[in-house]
Chain A
Amino acid sequence: MGPAADHYPHPHLLGIEGLTPGEITLILDRAQHYAEKNRTADKTSNILAGSTVVNLFYENSTRTLTSFELAAKRLGADVINMTVGTSSVKKGETLIDTAMTLNAMNPDALVVRHADSGAVKLLSEKVNCAVLNAGDGRHEHPTQALLDALTIRRHKGRLHRLTVAICGDIAHSRVARSNILLLNTMGSRVRLIAPPTLIPSKIDRMGVEIFHDMEEGLKDCDIVMMLRLQLERMEGSFIPSVREYFHFHGLDRAKLANAKPDALIMHPGPMNRGVEIDSEVADDVERSVIREQVEMGVAVRMAALEMLVQNHRNLAGGHS
């Protein structure tokens, strides 16, 4: 899909929407560099020494928070983690007040996760530093899509002309939305496979094919991307039972047989084994790249933080 852009031109990373193929390639190329470096003994650098990164998480997360923390530390930044439970937000200060307070402490980057779609964008409008969306409601989770893309590229050598099936709880998934946007931008075909209640209205307008039957949908796919069934976000009856869900839409060996023989199995984690994915498939060392996704997560977040903080520094330098 053409060459990488020569620089990342945005002040924030709020979503995949609006990124060009060149910009995505730029981030992935840099992330690939860090992926290699992270496998050596010399993992750290001081490229962001003296800068401050605040991880502001309004939703509990161990994996993503750890990944961002590690990424920032490997670049030499000072990192503060703020995990704000949902209940204390309700009685405490508003999102904007928190943003203003943190902004007054002059961080270089804010990494934000929030349960409401659009909350990270709202916050980005009120602060002077770079803002990185670590997941907002059901809207976007750009670093997840980027780490998925890097993982795919490392195995398939490209991001175009692939058929990618995204399966499961599309309705509640920011991961699905960011991946649809990224894969379409890069020239791959996206299929969504889920029971009708988990397919959001008019999502076909985002340029995807919709399947309800797993075996039909997986036919000849290069990539099988499973999503976590987010029971905690469900209001009302989306699925009759976990047992029925696994029967029709859980990934097991029999259903996987419909995909290409070299199809990769991916999952953003944390997995519900026996709900959306069978352990046998999840742990298949030949096919499953789920652990590599976690590894690429650190590399992608290093690349993103580096670009954003350097942009911010250049911007701040230009003003003074």
Chain B
Amino acid sequence: MMPAIRAKASGKTAFVNVRLLDPATGLDQTGGLLIQDGVIAEVGPSITRDKLPSDCRVIDGQGLCLAPGLVDMRVQVREPGFEHQETIETAGKSASVGGVTTMIALPNTDPVIDDVAGVEFVARRARKVGLAKVFVYGAVSKGIEGHEITEMGLLHQAGAVAFCDGVQTIASARLLRQALSYTTFFDGMIVQHPEEPELSRGGHMNSGELATRLGLSGVSPLAEVIQIERDIRLAEMTGGRLHFAHISTGESVEVIRRAKKRGLKITCDTAPFYFALNENAVSDYRTFAKLSPPLRAEDDRQAIVMGLADGTIDAIASDHNPQDQDSKRLPFAQAAAGGVGLETLLPITLELYHNGHMSLLDAIGKITHAPAKLMKLENHGTLAAGSAADIVVFDPGRPAKIDPYKFQSKSKNSPFDGRLIQGIVLRTLIDGREVFTHPSCIEGS
């Protein structure tokens, strides 16, 4: 399952005087954490400076938060094939700064990750880069063409953690049915980009008053709901595990809520864009806010927040989609959709906590434990003893302003440009190795 066998930090490091946040176990308490040989050896309120062995490097967290490193289940690393937009290395740096220690990469590269060699290529590159861990989705259909299923069992065995067709909808009901059915023998998961392609064709933003005023073709929220409703039927029929990516409408939340109540194996995620922004962000033809699915109405945004709070929406993924300037500095209809997200995943998710919609522990759970569990990544997304020492230390209250030109990502297309946020990453550790230290902490320890 592990895509990469990398060097683990040897020796002992401990954090003391930190607010421990482990959504997997419900731990939210001041205490300490001891890392030994890249693995969490001990965690809890009893770990204090005086109880640690003398050969241990000790970092005083000054009461700030320590959580499992973020698991981002929807990232486009753009390598191979689109290295002018992002590479595994630049995405890795971007992840480190954002506190993300595990990324699940979409297969829509060139070549498409639809065979074992592709899975192994990404694993090899990620191992060499040695930053965030990179797992991949295998493509559902060969070449993401929507016709024939890939060698899903072999891809799974090689390390593909789930399957999707990248940013394309698995449109054929027959193909999706076969994929859902086939993957049940190893309990694989299919991730759908829910957007009925015929209904949404040619659309560039949410349909409605603003689209009409701007003279842009719209993508109806119905395109998402219709796809979800159809696919739920297929999941029910096959018994397969189906996950909907980046849901954006209130009705989608409602439909999934009902499906879950009926006990179906349906899960979903959303991206920070959809609970932090609404369609007004594209006024003035701002192409950086052109996303897929498009930003929706304010009612939808509020419904997404509610869906996160009540657990209908299982996880939050950054939907990191780097685009170069030339793909964005165009008339709206011609511009590419997508926004970078790795470096804003934590602070925007923290808005749910700051705005009083969720507890800090629950908010962090959506970007750590929940995606790790969906992807069956054992020993990830938790602080439990024996887990990989993938850790983020952050100050949940410190104010900052988002400046994409300071991003480590190769691309700067963030719809959050200039947004005032609260919460910054101070340290990121992967397997006990510190891969990012905020400048303000370099002297401090």
Contacts and interface: CB of A to CB of B under 8 A. Distances in A.
Nearest to B216: A117
B215 A138 contact: yes
B278 to A, nearest CB: 15
Nearest to B204: A117
Contact of B218 (A121, A140, A174, A201): A201
Contacts of A137: 215-216, 331, 333
Given A116-B334, A121-B285, A122-B285, A202 B212 contact: yes
B146 interface: no
B214 interface: yes
Given A122-B285, A122-B331, A205-B209, A117 B214 contact: yes
A94 B207 CA distance: 27
Given A117-B285, A201-B207, A201-B218, A96 B212 contact: no
Contacts of B208: 201-202
A119 interface: yes
B330 interface: yes
Q: Which of B212, B220, B333 has most chain A Cβ within 10 Å?
A: B212
B417 to A, nearest CB: 15
Contacts of A17: 213
A131 to B, nearest CB: 14
Given A139-B215, A177-B215, A119 B209 contact: no
B284 interface: yes
Interface in A78-102: 94-96
B332 interface: yes
Given A94-B326, A202-B209, A235-B202, A119 B215 contact: no
Contacts of A177: 213, 215
A187 interface: no
Interface string B207-239: 111011111101010000000000000000000
B329 interface: yes
Interface string B318-361: 00000000100111111000000000000000000000000000
A316 to B, nearest CB: 26
A137 B208 CA distance: 17
B388 to A, nearest CB: 45
Nearest to A170: B212
A91 to B, nearest CB: 14
A114 interface: yes
A203 interface: yes
A200 interface: yes
A117 B215 contact: yes
Contact of A118 (B209, B218, B331): B331
Nearest to B333: A116
Nearest to B325: A96
A95 B212 contact: no
A5 B196 CA distance: 50
A69 interface: no
Nearest to B211: A201
B215 A174 contact: yes
A23 interface: no
Interface residues of A, number: 25
A315 interface: no
A117 B333 contact: yes
A118 B214 contact: yes
B360 to A, nearest CB: 39
Interface string A10-47: 00000001000000000000000000000000000000
Interface residues of B, number: 22
Given A122-B285, A201-B207, A235-B202, A94 B329 contact: yes
A228 to B, nearest CB: 16
A148 interface: no
A136 interface: yes
Interface string A139-164: 11000000000000000000000000
A95 B330 contact: yes
Q: Which of A114, A140, A202 has most chain B Cβ within 10 Å?
A: A202
Contacts of B214: 117-118, 139
Contacts of A235: 201-202
B212 A203 contact: yes
A95 B331 contact: yes
A118 B213 CA distance: 11
A95 B334 CA distance: 11
Nearest to B334: A116
B325 to A, nearest CB: 10
Nearest to A181: B213
Interface string B415-434: 00000000000000000000
Contacts of A122: 285, 329-331
Given A177-B213, A177-B215, A118 B332 contact: yes
Contacts of A117: 214-216, 285, 331-333
Contact of B212 (A121, A140, A201): A201
B213 A206 contact: yes
Interface string B143-167: 0000000000000000000000000
A196 to B, nearest CB: 14
A10 to B, nearest CB: 15
B179 to A, nearest CB: 29
Contact of B284 (A114, A121, A138, A201): A121
A140 B215 CA distance: 8
A215 to B, nearest CB: 26
Contacts of B218: 201
Nearest to A123: B331
Contacts of B334: 116
A94 B330 contact: yes
B209 to A, nearest CB: 4
Contacts of B207: 201-202
B215 A96 contact: no
B212 A136 contact: no
Interface string A106-129: 000000001011110110000000
A206 B211 CA distance: 12
12 contacts: A96-B329, A116-B334, A117-B331, A117-B332, A136-B215, A137-B333, A200-B211, A201-B208, A201-B209, A201-B220, A202-B207, A205-B212
Given A122-B285, A206-B213, 10 more contacts: A116-B332, A116-B334, A117-B331, A118-B331, A122-B331, A139-B216, A201-B209, A202-B207, A202-B212, A203-B209
Interface of B: 201-202, 207-209, 211-216, 218, 220, 284-285, 326, 329-334
* The 5 residue pairs across chains A and B that have the minimum distance between CB atoms: A139-B215, A118-B285, A116-B331, A138-B215, A117-B215
